[in-house]
Structure 1
Amino acid sequence: MFLYLAGETIGYVGRVLSVSNIAGYSLESTGDYIIQFTLLTICPNFFNAAIYSQYGRFLYAYGTSETKIQEINVFGKKFQPTIMSFILIFIDFACIFIQAAGGNILRAAKTQQTLNIGNGVYIAGIALQCFSMSCFTLLFSKLMYNIHVKSRLLFARNKDTFELYGGDLQTTSLNGTYFCPWKWASIINSVSLEEVYRYEEKSQPTTIPLEEMSTTQRKMFKYYPFILTIAFILAIIRCFYRLFEVAIGGWNGYLMSHEIFLIVLDFIPLSIGALLTCIFSEGFVFGKQGIKILKQTKLDHYQGKSSRKRLAYDIKTMFGKS
């Protein structure tokens, strides 16, 4: 997040300074325009990487036991959070290098053919980024469903809570509900997150201490996944805008030559997303004690393995060898 915010700040300073350089192709300048073009294109990838790393955080924050972690994980035991984050961040950095390579070819281009090659490489990098972000959106939406809807349905069907929360929730389909988001609100409102947590604490007292949180912090914890989802959707809007900007009309196209689109579809979405993620940062949401519990839950989940061994363990699990 720091690399993203610092890069975006420097990039927009470079854009302001490049206003006076309007002669010929802007890309012929090796100064301010190249600074803003490179940083404003590449740095949002760091934002994506920061969001990708939150998948595991959510599992450990909302999964109060080993069984619950496997239950709410989108792929169960098959794909663990470390390998998911690794794959997504690897693709993200591959996008950075591809986009940087395309930008470098464009900067050094002397002929139209070379410009076309650089443009193609650049578009390929952004297209790959759009694809990976779209996949993560589906993955993350399923995780949100498992945390906030599926967990409540399972809680309501438990033999100890059935008499209080059974009824209509008993006949609600676990799988089919995912494709009916208009039903989520009624299910979420039927059982509070605090009730689910209090029940689970009886068998596994390693959950985030909601009772010790202030009213504001409990609300932040409740809405944190949704805020992060909104921030990521805003980043996706920016990514697809960048793809269409170059793919439709190229460097002389309508989107490229009208700055209002950059402001509305790049600057504003990313600024709002950055503001949201700064306000709803881990330290504010989970608190000092919550962060410690998250770390301990992760250590317990991986049985105290080091980072390298965690990745090796996840790879073995992915292929059914663990």
Structure 2
Amino acid sequence: MTGMTTAEMVEISQGCYAFKPELATQYGYIPTKAAGITFCVLFGLSMVLHIAQFCWKRSWWCSVFAIGCLVELIGWAGRTWSSECPYNSNAFMMQISTLIIAPTFFTAGIYILLGRFIQILGHNSSFFTPKQYLWIFCTCDIISLVVQAVGGGLASSESGVSGGNTALGTNIMVAGIVFQLVSISIFMVCAIDFLRRIIKLGLRRSETGSFTTMMVIMALSVFCIYIRSIYRTIELAQGWNGYLITHESYFIGLDGVLMVIAAGVFNVFHPGWLLSSVESLALPTFQDKGYRLTNVVEDR
């Protein structure tokens, strides 16, 4: 928006003006309205389902998935707004600040879920206790969330100012995403160790249907979030005028679609149902083998 007076820039960034070829948007393109509406609907439906499911099963900790969907919904609503008002800085800030942090809520749910498995299967199944998983990885999530939110706020505010320097905010955002990648990587190592211990303890194949399903779903969700985080790291590292950030198709495919999968799999295979099956099958199996189990804390 160079070549404009400060008053003109303020007016166009706060109003709703049609796209002008000679005046670039903060995105480098005009967000597609159909994509915005589609993802608003998908995340909205997932959120409603998550709310209904965790209320029905009284698995209140699953509310983090609903919160994640709400944050995604707000972000895609901002992009839908930008499709009509491509120069509006509030719409841009709304989407960049929310979509960058939304996956944090899903990873928090996955961390809690593994802790629940350890509660059910006993302390022998992990070198961390459920409380340690909660404190270590959820604390990492909070740190990542705060860092990304601060960076997103700084970058988006500077991007709407003539001559504004977005480097500091962008670097902070990248640091937050990289920190999240590191914490997810460590979690994946812990999850692999958990599986190794379960196999060693000898949970019978015939009794692992729900357990295997839940682990596959967790792995799929983590994989989607992990790939998305790698994409966002590269995208932001290229800068606000980089190739990835100025081509919407990459954002739709490597952020929007992946996050729909990460959220939706827990609607189809909800932990509230599957954990009950795992508990009823795993407890007798391990008790028969003489392993001392931790107390299982019921949600209901």
Contact preservation (8 Å) 1:105, 1:114: no
- Which amino acid in 2 is paired with 1:105? L
Q: 1:266 to 1:82 in 2, by over 3 A?
A: same
Q: Which residue of 2 aligns with 1:119?
A: 170
> Quick one: distance in 2 between partners of 1:283 and 1:303?
14
**Match status 1:3 vs 2:67:** yes
Q: Which residue of 1 aligns with 2:20?
A: none
Q: How far does residue 146 in structure 1 lie from its aligned partner after superposition?
A: 2.0
2:136 to 84, 87, 91: 87
The count of corresponding residues between Structure 1 and Structure 2 is: 222
* TM-score normalised by L of structure 2: 0.67
Q: Which residue of 2 aligns with 1:72?
A: 125
Q: Which residue of 2 aligns with 1:51?
A: 110
Q: Which residue of 2 aligns with 1:173?
A: none
**Match status 1:246 vs 2:236:** yes
CA RMSD of aligned residues (A): 2.7
Contact preservation (8 Å) 1:220, 1:280: no
Q: How far does residue 45 in structure 1 lie from its aligned partner after superposition?
A: 0.5
> Quick one: distance in 2 between partners of 1:145 and 1:2?
31
Give SS of 2:124's match.
helix
Q: Which runs of 4+ in 1 moved over 6 A?
A: none
Q: How far does residue 288 in structure 1 lie from its aligned partner after superposition?
A: 8.9
- Which amino acid in 2 is paired with 1:245? E
Q: How far does residue 302 in structure 1 lie from its aligned partner after superposition?
A: 6.3
Q: 1:30 to 1:139 in 2, by over 3 A?
A: same
Q: Which has the higher contact order (CA 8 A, sep 6+)?
A: 2
**Match status 1:135 vs 2:177:** no
Q: Which residue of 2 aligns with 1:199?
A: none
After superposition, give the CA deviation of every residue in 1:282-314 in whole Å (9 maximum; x if it has no partner). 2221349959x99xx9xx73699xxxxxxxxxx
Larger gyration radius, structure 1 or structure 2: 1
- Which amino acid in 2 is paired with 1:93? I
Question: Percent same amino acid at aligned positions?
Answer: 28
Structure-to-structure mapping, 1:23-42, within 5 angstroms: 23=87, 29-42=88-101
Contact preservation (8 Å) 1:17, 1:32: yes
1:150 to 197, 200, 219: 200
Structure 2: runs of 5+ lacking an equivalent: 1-64, 288-292
Q: Which residue of 2 aligns with 1:301?
A: 294
> Quick one: distance in 2 between partners of 1:72 and 1:221?
13
- Which amino acid in 2 is paired with 1:232? V
Contact preservation (8 Å) 2:210, 2:278: no
Q: Which residue of 1 aligns with 2:83?
A: 19
Contact preservation (8 Å) 1:144, 1:225: no
> Quick one: distance in 2 between partners of 1:118 and 1:128?
15
Q: Which residue of 1 aligns with 2:223?
A: 233
